[in-house]
Amino acid sequence: MDVSKIGGLNMKKYLTLENGDVFVGTACGDLGGEINGELVFTTSMTGYQETLTDPSYQNQIITFTYPLIGNYGISLGTNQSNKVEAAAVVVKEMTEQAFHYQSVISLDAYLKQSKIPAISGIDTRQLTKIIRQYGTMKASLTNFPVDKKKSASDHQASIIKMASLSASSDKKIDHVVLVDFGVKANIVKSLQRKEIDVTVVTPESTYEDIAKLHPTGILLSNGPGDPTAYSDFLPVIKKLQEAFPIFGICLGHQLLALANGAKTYKMTFGHRGINHPVKNLENGDIFITSQNHGYAVDADSIKETPLKVTALEVNDKTVEGLRYPGRPIFSVQYHPEAAPGPHDAAKLFDHFIDLMHATEEVH
pLDDT tens, position by position, 322-332: 999 999 999 99
Catalytic site residue 361?
no
> What CATH number did the domain enclosing 78 receive?
3.50.30.20
Catalytic site residue 335?
yes
Q: Is 185 found in the same domain as 113?
A: no
149 falls within a domain = no
Q: Is 358 found in the same domain as 210?
A: yes
Q: Is 261 found in the same domain as 215?
A: yes
**Is 295 among the annotated ligand-binding positions?**
yes
Q: Is 138 found in the same domain as 172?
A: no
| Mean pLDDT in residue range 253-269 | 97
Q: Which of 148, 211, 182 is nearest to 21 (CA)?
A: 148
**Is 294 among the annotated ligand-binding positions?**
yes
Q: How confident is the model at residue 360 (pLDDT cuts 50, 70, 90)?
A: low
Among residues 250, 271, 276, 320, the one annotated as catalytic is 250
**Is 251 among the annotated ligand-binding positions?**
yes
**Is 56 among the annotated ligand-binding positions?**
yes
Within 10 A of 222 (CB to CB), how many other CB atoms are there? 27
The number of distinct structural domains making up the chain is 2
Q: Is 236 found in the same domain as 339?
A: yes
Q: Is 329 found in the same domain as 205?
A: yes
Exposed (0-12), middle (13-18) or buried (19+): which is 101, by Cβ within 10 Å?
exposed
- Dist CA 251 CA 339 (whole Å): 17
What does the DSSP 8-state code read for residue 62? E
Strand partners, 17: 139
* Residue 50 · residue 187 · CB < 8 Å: no
Q: Is 175 found in the same domain as 138?
A: no
| Mean pLDDT in residue range 300-310 | 97
Q: Is 133 found in the same domain as 183?
A: no
Question: Alpha carbon of 233 to those of 181, 229, 301, 324, 329: distances in Å?
Answer: 11, 9, 20, 19, 17
Domain that holds residue 76: 9-142
Instruction: Give the global pTM.
Output: 0.70
Catalytic site residue 293?
no
